[in-house]
Chain A
Amino acid sequence: MSMGVEARSESRPRLILFVTGDAPRSLRAKANLAETLERLGIDPADVVEIDLTADPTQTLVYGIFATPALLRPKESGRSEILYGDLSEQKALERFLTLG
C-alpha cells in the first residue's frame, strides 16, 4: 500500500483509502485492508492512502465525509465507495474482487 496523495499524480490509483490520523477505526481499516489484499493477492501498491486530518481539502475534493472509506475511482466519475473499518470481510472481498 503506497502512502500519500502524491501517488495519484503518477497514474490513476486503483483504490484510495481515506483515514483520519490515528483514529482507531482508521487503524483498523488499514490493518483489515492490508490483510485482505495479501490474502487475495492484490498488489498493495494499488492502494493510495489519504489522511484527511493532514489534508482536509481532500475531503471536499473527493466528497468523502465518513471515514475510514475505501474509494475506487472510475473513468465515468461514478466512483465506488466502501465505508467503514473494513471489518466485514465478505463485503470487503466483494468490493475488491468485483471492481
Chain B
Amino acid sequence: MNHQSSSRPAAPAGCRVAGHGLVECRASALGDLRSRAAPAGAPAIPNRFLRHADEHTVVGLHAVLAALAAGPSQPDLSRHAVVAAPCQSGRLAAARTLAQLPAGGAVTVSPHVVPQCSLHSVAGAVSVALGMHGPHLGVGGGPDALAEGLLAATTLLLHGDPECTAAWLVATDWDEEPALDPVGNPQGDPVCRALAVQLVAAGDATDDGTPSHGPGLVVQPSARQESRPRLHDPAGGIVAFARALAICHAGTTLAPWAVDCPWGVIRLVARPPSHGVREAA
C-alpha cells in the first residue's frame, strides 16, 4: 500500500515559553547549592531535601526555583508536569558505587542510588519538592537529551494529562563530561548546568504554531521519512538555548535557534510586535 496517502498531516505544534531559569555551578560549589534554600520569590523546599540527590538534580531543581523567582507571580504548580532531560545523570554515584563494590560488597550500595540517581530522578525531585501533580518523566540520558526533552515536554503538555496547565523542561549537563578518579570524584572543577523552561499551551497560536505573544517552541515533524544528521552538542545546546530565550524575553534581537533532528525540527520562535513570524536568537 502507499503509506504516504495514509499519513496524517504533520501539523506543527506550538506552545509558549512562559519563563526560564539557568543555574550553573562548579563541582566544588555543589555542596553549598545542595543545602541552599530557595531564592526569594520562589516556593520553599523541604529542609535537606537534596541531601541524597544527584548533581544534576541539585542544579535542575534550583533552575526551576530560579525561573519561579524571576516570574511576576507564583503560579499554581499543582497541575504542572515535569520532563527532565539530563545527560548522563547519576554517573558520579554510579562510579562511587562500582568503585566500592569489589571491596565492600552489597552493603556499600546506597539505597538512594536508584531512586535519587537515575534518569527519572531529576523530574521526580522537582515534582516532589514543589508538589506538582501533573506527570513527571525523565527522558534522554545521553547526547540527544535536549532534543528528546523538548519533544517529550511538548507532547506531555499538549497531549498528556488534560488537566495539565504547564510543563517544565529541565535540561541538565556538565559543561564537559568530567573524567573521574578511581573513587568517582571529578577531576578538575567542571561546571554542572541546568536550564528550566516553563511551557504553557498557546491557545491563540497561528497555523504554523507560533504563539501570539512572547517566545514559543514549535515542533515541526517531517511529512515523510527523512534521514538527516543529528546534532550532538547538548552543553552548547543548553547554553545557546538559554541565550536565545533571554534575548527573546527581552524582546530585542532576533536570530535563529533550532534543534535539527532526523525526523523534523524543534524551533524557538517569537512574534515581534505587529510583524510576521521570525525566528528567535
A interacts with B: no
Chain B residues with CB under 8 Å of chain A are none
Binding site for B on A (CB under 8 A): none
